[in-house]
Amino acid sequence: MGKNSSTLISDEWTGCYKRGWGKELVPEAFTHPAKVFFSLAEHIYAHLAEEGWIAEDDTVIDPFGGIGGCAYHALRHGLNFIGVELEPKFVDLAAQNIALWNSRYAGRFRRWGTAQVVQGDSRRLLDVVREAGCCVSSPPYGNATKNLDD
């Protein structure tokens, strides 16, 4: 989409809820009320790669970092992931999940990124994170739309 374009590109995805997290999360992480679904996050990152919107070593930010669900797929794509999460207990669970994934998978794939979830308020995102090339999220307002002509 061009800088001054008012055309909204829309893709329709299906089958994004086929696979759950299984044993890829520490048990306590399942208490988070709004985890991104494994297959949805997987599809988002595959789409980003197919479109050429991400490249190995890029930094990706998730303003709703939660328990770090999107971090798993960023790691697999060789990206540097920074999640922002308001609740300290979920920041801790994200760190545990990232440590779990690093212990299981780092060095087993051709590329493996870095990930961290920091405590902060995403309403003041630039106060928390200064540099990112891509923003990926599963926001709580996913069905909201905005007319680009407004």
pLDDT in tens, the chain (150 residues): 445 556 666 777 888 888 889 999 999 999 999 889 999 999 999 999 999 999 999 989 898 999 999 999 999 999 999 999 999 999 999 999 999 999 999 989 889 999 999 998 888 877 777 665 566 666 554 444 444 444
Helical (H) or strand (E) element with 91: helix 88-105
Q: Rounded to 5 degrees, what angle do the CA atoms 129, 132, 135 make?
A: 100
Residue 37 and residue 17 in contact, taking contact as beta carbons nearer than 8 Å: yes
- Provide Rg for the chain, Cα atoms: 16
Q: How far is CA 97 from the centre of its chain?
A: 13
